[in-house]
Structure 1
């Protein structure tokens, strides 16, 4: 009896050892060797894993970059400095780099746009937007729960006392996470040197806008007429003004004539330094 047990244990042990060696051999034969270049690229990348490049993290971007499927400039978070380092490592062109920052296109906070009904539910913009088209009078305006703030891993957004997100231009890397997080599409990436913004996204009629918000664009076209550079136009379908940043000189003419004060000109850091 004892001999039988010992024999069984010996057979099982031998089989286990045999299978172990077999699996180790197969694993070595089928192992995918990581390109050393990928590791070198990873050492340069910021490691944010933000997905702004369109890849599922920095590792995936590094593999595609090493394979020649991507350009160094596509790492938005790394910026020009990282793009140049990657280009030097790979012996290729960095690619065209156009830095962008996020901007909010809504001024309708708690004071400017009232409530249609009291909302008691999950405190996220995504959830609130699903209930009756949102609780604010403006069906296009910011809901103020800060989904965009939660999405930003760089600390570039915060909520003000009026229930609107504030974007820190100096911290924003243009990854676009906040753009994706906003269920109403109120945040967009614009050229880093853009200075003039129409802070409204309402597609309602001028009459409806007037009732819903004290600062909404009513499509009066005064801005359009005041601009001598043909840089701002009012859409005939939505009655909403928008700016062509390839033409805008930030002269401020549109800002001055807007009766609703929905167009703003933003001073950038370089100009603040020069003024000081």
Structure 2
């Protein structure tokens, strides 16, 4: 039976991946900070789908955390066939007014932990000539996002990094995909401390389950990049191609400016 490693697995898109992959008879390794939520999810998946679910409670914003995850996986004697780098968070507000510690932790989680896990497991996958890696970015990675400047920059990194790896590994037997969701039903806006005027506008948000289904379909087709959520999100990510960058970032600044 194949095994998937999912970071940020306790809620949202990560939990939706765990449920869908378990339903497809994959064992899962669940990584997140909340041990209680992970254990509850693992018990549910094992009971419902008769698979093995391993729990690794780990705060990936901390340097060295990825080594602890890898050590735990090696201790179990597991081979990772599918890596889903889903863990990440954002922040809202003028950069200079936000806590520097939170910005550094965001870079550590959204970029450093993702790069470390990708490097470690991609090396193993290439040796075997099989496997897949999914890195979760965002449509925010396609343009600068004032008042979420570090977040959008980290997601731009994930897009460029993953697309480059896809090109490097086309003939390796390893599939690599970057996924760029738009607004999705989750606790993202709460953690990022967006005003209620933003967080409450979720009537048109995609569900985590929709993002997962689109992702797995794109992975089967060996796409390099997936923008989920239909035409509206495709329009958003392609607008910067047709207008001066000053114009785009000025318009976005007005839209996201604190009221």
TM bin (shorter chain): under 0.3
Q: Relative contact order (C-alpha < 8 Å, sep 6+): which is higher?
A: 2
TM-score under structure 1 length normalisation: 0.24
Write 1 or 2 for the structure with the bigger share of helix.
2
TM-score under structure 2 length normalisation: 0.25
